[in-house]
């Protein structure tokens, strides 16, 4: 269970790092598109 939580925290951390840089709008568009399609964001 802890491994899953740590993985989620790492994923969120990675997204926050992306949001901090100039690709913020691109990341938000990708997230918005994924949510609008009601599909889970692939964990690659």
Question: Which pLDDT belongs to residue 8?
Answer: 75
Residue with tokens 């599909």: 39
Nearest 5°: CA angle at 34, between 12 and 41?
45
In order of 6, 16, 22, 42, the CA distances from 2 in angstroms are 6, 21, 32, 20
9/22 Cα distance (integer angstroms): 22
Average pLDDT of the segment spanning 4-18: 75
Question: Which pLDDT belongs to residue 24?
Answer: 63
Question: Which pLDDT belongs to residue 13?
Answer: 81
The full set of domain ranges for the chain reads 2-36
- pLDDT over 60 (residue 21): yes
- Model pTM? 0.30
């Amino acid at each position: 269970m802890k491994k899953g939580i740590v993985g989620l925290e790492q994923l969120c951390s990675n997204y926050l790092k992306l949001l901090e840089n100039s690709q913020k709008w691109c990341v938000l568009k990708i997230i918005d598109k994924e949510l609008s399609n009601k599909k889970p964001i692939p964990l690659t």
